[in-house]
A and B are shown apart, each in its own frame.
Chain A
Amino acid sequence: MECVFGLVGNDFAVVAADTSAVHSILVHKSNEDKIMILDSHKLVAASGEPGDRVQFTEYIQKNVALYQFRNGIPLTTAAAANFTRGELATALRKNPYSVNILLAGYDKETGPSLYYIDYIATLHKVDKGAFGYGSYFSLSMMDRHYHSGMTVEEAIDLVDKCITEIRSRLVVAPPNFVIKIVDKDGAREYAWRESVKDAAAASA
């Protein structure tokens, strides 16, 4: 039920994820942020088992930070993606992590990039990607309307189209989404798309 999708635009990459934390029929939380800011210019949008998702992405985040401390320069997006895939692959035959990841990043030399990493350690560099039941709707929407070099407005418009489609067609559609963007100025939150607000608006 978790929906994660993203695309690469003109000098930026954008990812969106739903924000509901679900346990069988219960929605425990509808403002859970599943897009982690890996470092200043990288975003990791993850979906999967709750324990694995948080523990694995934090593990990657700490190791990426360690590399920067040791070597004085940050990892490129490609290097971070390959490192992530390597960790998933090593654990796969022993103690697999059930996490699907879209890694978006911006490098000065190569520009924006998006990597599709699934739970069995598949790695692809892509222009657009999606995970979860939402992918059935968002992938075709993106295939239809995507073109290379989209502006931020066009890309957000496409993301909103996908969210609308998921909300209207998916049987247990998540109500709220978070959108994050990464470009030359860094990785940051762009917007929330909420159709159900938690009563205590003072966000935990």
Chain B
Amino acid sequence: MKLDTSGLESAAPVWGAPSELVDGFSAAPLFEVPNTTDFDGFQKEAIQMVKPAKGTTTLAFIFKEGVMVAADSRASMGGYISSQSVKKIIEINPYMLGTMAGGAADCQFWHRNLGIKCRLHELANKRRISVTGASKLLANILYSYRGMGLSVGTMIAGWDETGPGLYYVDSEGGRLKGMRFSVGSGSPYAYGVLDNGYRYDMSVEEAAELARRAIYHATFRDGASGGVASVYYVGPSGWKKLSGDDVGELHYKYYPVMPSTVEQEMIEVAGA
């Protein structure tokens, strides 16, 4: 709906050098309006542009020994791969990790902000904040910016007094407590491998291999995921990075090239 903005225009010329004639009076107050014809729809457009860009695969799950967190490392801008080495697992504090999906700046900034709030909580209350509390802090902040175009799909994983904790928090304001989550454009592929191979009583090595494999399979099928599969483990004494493998190399490790039987060979003809 085109609004009637004639009331906003002032008598004075907007562009061009202020002339001596006009300098004297105060022109009708002008305030900044967005440079668009569609005032009501432009914001929705901005959000829609960002929405599909959760081009990533991240996953996390709780098992007997703690929490396993894994992610790829590709950043894509539409069809262009802007980076293959993005850190998508953010270290909030020595015993809590956050994963990044959606807008990189949004995720990095708000996770850093969450880290600050967690530290302030520790100083004010003389004890560490729980994973429940940290995720609620982040969820409330994101909820208050709801509809303004933030794009964040994150998992908060950590170990607190009650044991391992895992929460999914997104920029729509949703917050879910769970045992396994995968976020990003590659997540349906990762879920398939993860759900099938998951057992609560796995060892740390088995769980790391499951996480790595799930990320690999997602990067294989999803164009927006790739680079390096990083795997982190969160245990009672905090988080530890377990591995970072290039998914290209993982492919040949899982599916090595078999020398195939040669059916026909081109032989050099001897002599001229």
Contact = CB atoms under 8 A, between A and B. Distances in A.
Interface string B237-255: 0000000000000000000
B180 A49 contact: no
Contact of B178 (A28, A50, A54): A28
A51 B188 contact: no
A81 B176 CA distance: 26
A55 B173 contact: yes
Contacts of A23: 170, 174
Interface stretch (A115-123, A179-187, A196-204): A196-204
Interface residues of A, number: 18
Given A26-B191, A28-B168, A200-B200, A51 B179 contact: no
B198 interface: yes
Interface string B180-192: 1100000110010
Q: Is the interface of A mostly helix, strand, loop or mixed?
A: mixed
Given A28-B168, A28-B181, A199-B198, A51 B146 contact: yes
Contact of B173 (A28, A51, A200): A51
Interface string A149-169: 000000000000000000000
B174 A51 contact: yes
B143 interface: yes
A11 interface: no
B97 interface: no
Interface of B: 62, 139-140, 142-143, 146, 166, 168, 170, 172-181, 187-188, 191, 195, 198-200
Name the 10 nearest CB pairs between A and B, nearest first: A51-B173, A50-B174, A200-B179, A204-B177, A51-B143, A200-B200, A204-B178, A29-B178, A204-B179, A51-B172
Interface of A: 21, 23, 25-26, 28-29, 32, 49-52, 54-55, 198-200, 202, 204
20 contacts: A23-B170, A25-B188, A26-B187, A28-B176, A32-B176, A49-B173, A50-B173, A51-B143, A51-B146, A51-B172, A51-B173, A51-B175, A54-B175, A199-B195, A200-B180, A200-B198, A202-B200, A204-B62, A204-B166, A204-B179
